[in-house]
Amino acid sequence: MQNETIVAVATPPGVGGVAVLRLSGPNARLAGVAVFPKLLQAPPRRMMWGELRDGAETLDDALAVWFAAPHSFTGEDVIELHCHGGRATVAAVLAAVLAQPQVRLAGPGEFTRRAVEHGKMDLTAAEGLADLIEAETEAQRRQALRQLGGALGERFESWRHRVLGLLAQVEAGLDFPDEELEILSDARLAEGFRSLLAEWDSALQEEAGRKVRDGLSLAIVGAPNAGKSTLMNALSGREVAIVAATAGTTRDVVRQVLAIDGYRLEVADTAGLRDHTTDTIEQEGMKRAKTTAKAADVVVWVADARELIMKGGLFSKSISKAVAPVLKNPPPAEVLAEGRGLVVLSHADLMTQELPKNLEIEGTNYPVLALNLTEAGAAKRLQAALLPLVQAQAGLAEGAAWLTRERHSAAVREASAKVGEALVLCTKGTRNQELGTRDGDSMAELVAQELREAAFAIGTVTGRTTSEDVLDVVFSTFCIGK
């Protein structure tokens, strides 16, 4: 309820040098002055030093500042109390604030929700803020900041305005029923629908936004004993997986989250793939390895360099299509897909011949990195070789306002279905000259209704046309104090 004043500790739980408590709402100023009397004389946005009090008792020596509505984060009167960050101090100050009339503890994301409700930011910006707070890598941070800055909101608003523009054209047909046919058969109208549909179609194809936000997956696959777990450990910088000279050491999928140049990457080490095994546990491991590889954004195929097939005593640098397979154990086509694969030739330290820089496997050319996986510099070289693949998979998200959540895609899908229906109605109406009515509505009315629903769906993303339910869902994922 907006007429209540909310309070929460804005800094993370635990002990710190300073903790910040934030109050927002109509009673914030009164409650703030009650616990920090000096705020009474303070001009807005000026930090004051003084005593934090609970009645006659001094709680802390602290700093406080107030922001007058509407010039605050939430758009309401906001007070910030900066006290010492000990647990007992924070608890005592919080209790003193909560003892003030009409003050209660804030729910998850309630400060941000109030900011949205007072028009301080749209819903996509609020999501950007939540992402920024949670960002673990550079790419996530940059993307969240763009979304907070309104880039995604603008994209959706421009789509909504285009739908509303088309709706205005159709509504002209309602006002002038004699010209309805002419208006609905206007080629520019159909063109407007088609260009929106095409744009939405490609927006739904982009996965970059979600890949940067949620991270990419990388699967390490290859024959037993190739050095997959050694590679996993080199990339992780610690002994995540067991390495042994025995073939078939790794059975389960071993996962580890890493950051490569700011991209969040979930790396999976898998069981070695071989043609025949009677061991049921190994069979299950191989099945999991293939499933993991198929679902991965990037696949690293590890092969022992000694498994390369020689051609005239030399390894061909770019092996021609005719000499496939070039490896004794080539990867099954399903695991090493085009554009997302890197071949790592391990045990390069045991080879004297020059090794190829790329390999053609099953008609596709893959970059090759030959190295000694047990050597200290291996991780650096692996990261450098992986970066272009990761960037390509993330779609080089720099500068773009990608759809980052399922909620965004769902709205675009819904709007797309409505506009598609509008297009069908227009073309059907004009082709068959059947401007007759359905349920007593004129054709223009039916088209207009589809467009209104499309505009509504697009508007839910920014919060322009959002119901309480949508707000509840979005803010339920926020933490208290945000």
Greatest alpha-carbon span in the chain: 94
Q: Using the rule CB under 5 A, is 249 a contact of Mg ion?
A: yes
Closer CB to ligand GTP, 166 or 378, in the complex: 378
Query: By three-state DSSP, how is residue 114 classified?
Result: helix
In the list Mg ion, ligand GTP, none, the entry touching 415 (Cβ below 5 to 8 angstroms by class) is: none
List 350, 392, 473, 479, residue binding ligand GTP (CB under 6 A): 350
- List the x/- string, 389-418, binding to Mg ion by CB under 5 A: ------------------------------
In the list ligand GTP, Mg ion, none, the entry touching 29 (Cβ below 5 to 8 angstroms by class) is: none
In the list ligand GTP, Mg ion, none, the entry touching 244 (Cβ below 5 to 8 angstroms by class) is: ligand GTP
What type of residue sits at position 268? A
The DSSP 8-state label assigned to residue 321 in this structure reads G
Q: Using the rule CB under 5 A, is 140 a contact of Mg ion?
A: no
23 pairs with which residues across the strands? Answer: 7, 79
Rounded to 5 degrees, φ, ψ at 18 are -130, 145
Cα–Cα distance, 450 to 3 (Å, whole number) = 37
Q: Using the rule CB under 6 A, is 89 a contact of ligand GTP?
A: no
Spatial contact of 346 and 371, defined as CB atoms under 8 Å apart: yes
Q: Give the nearest distance from C-beta 229 to Mg ion in angstroms.
A: 3
User: Locate tokens 């291996």: which residue?
Assistant: 378
Spatial contact of 259 and 374, defined as CB atoms under 8 Å apart: no
74 CB-contact burial (10 Å; exposed 0-12 / middle 13-18 / buried 19+)? buried
In the list Mg ion, ligand GTP, none, the entry touching 347 (Cβ below 5 to 8 angstroms by class) is: ligand GTP
In the list Mg ion, ligand GTP, none, the entry touching 225 (Cβ below 5 to 8 angstroms by class) is: ligand GTP
Q: Using the rule CB under 6 A, is 373 a contact of ligand GTP?
A: yes
User: Locate tokens 């309805």: which residue?
Assistant: 180
Q: Using the rule CB under 6 A, is 284 a contact of ligand GTP?
A: no
- The full DSSP string for 285-328 is HHHHHHHHHHH-SEEEEEEEGGGBPPBTTB--SS--GGG---BS
Residue least distant from ligand GTP (Cβ): 272
Site for ligand GTP in 30-49 (CB under 6 A): none
In the list ligand GTP, Mg ion, none, the entry touching 245 (Cβ below 5 to 8 angstroms by class) is: ligand GTP
| Per-residue tokens: 418 | 């409505």
In the list ligand GTP, Mg ion, none, the entry touching 290 (Cβ below 5 to 8 angstroms by class) is: none
Q: Give the nearest distance from C-beta 455 to ligand GTP in angstroms.
A: 55
Q: Are strands 358-361 and 364-370 parallel, antiparallel or unpaired?
A: antiparallel
Half-sphere exposure of 23 (CA within 13 A, CB side): 35
Q: Give the nearest distance from C-beta 235 to ligand GTP in angstroms.
A: 12
Q: Using the rule CB under 6 A, is 349 a contact of ligand GTP?
A: yes
Closer CB to Mg ion, 124 or 229, in the complex: 229
Closer CB to Mg ion, 185 or 374, in the complex: 374
Rounded to 5 degrees, φ, ψ at 8 are -160, 160
Closer CB to Mg ion, 89 or 277, in the complex: 277
Site for ligand GTP in 224-243 (CB under 6 A): 224-230, 243
In the list ligand GTP, Mg ion, none, the entry touching 346 (Cβ below 5 to 8 angstroms by class) is: ligand GTP
Q: In what order do the strands lie in the sheet with 254-260?
A: 254-260, 263-269, 216-222, 298-304, 341-346, 364-370, 358-361
Q: Using the rule CB under 5 A, is 229 a contact of Mg ion?
A: yes
In the list ligand GTP, Mg ion, none, the entry touching 281 (Cβ below 5 to 8 angstroms by class) is: none
Spatial contact of 41 and 57, defined as CB atoms under 8 Å apart: no
List 1, 56, 187, 245, residue binding ligand GTP (CB under 6 A): 245
How do the residues of the chain divide into helix, strand and coil, expressed in percent and rounded to 5?
A: 45, 20, 35
| Per-residue tokens: 427 | 């073309």
Closer CB to ligand GTP, 3 or 246, in the complex: 246
Stretch that binds Mg ion, among 134-142, 215-223, 226-234, 308-316 (CB under 5 A): 226-234
- Which of 116, 111, 148 has the alpha carbon at shortest distance from 132? 148
Cα–Cα distance, 341 to 293 (Å, whole number) = 10
Q: Give the nearest distance from C-beta 277 to ligand GTP in angstroms.
A: 11
What type of residue sits at position 20? V
Q: Using the rule CB under 6 A, is 342 a contact of ligand GTP?
A: no
Spatial contact of 347 and 304, defined as CB atoms under 8 Å apart: yes
List 124, 140, 250, 404, residue binding Mg ion (CB under 5 A): 250
The strand ranges marked E within 183-224 are: 216-222
The strand ranges marked E within 196-237 are: 216-222
Question: Which positions touch ligand GTP (CB under 6 A)?
Answer: 222, 224-230, 243-245, 247-250, 271-272, 346-347, 349-350, 372-374
Question: Which positions touch Mg ion (CB under 5 A)?
Answer: 228-229, 249-250
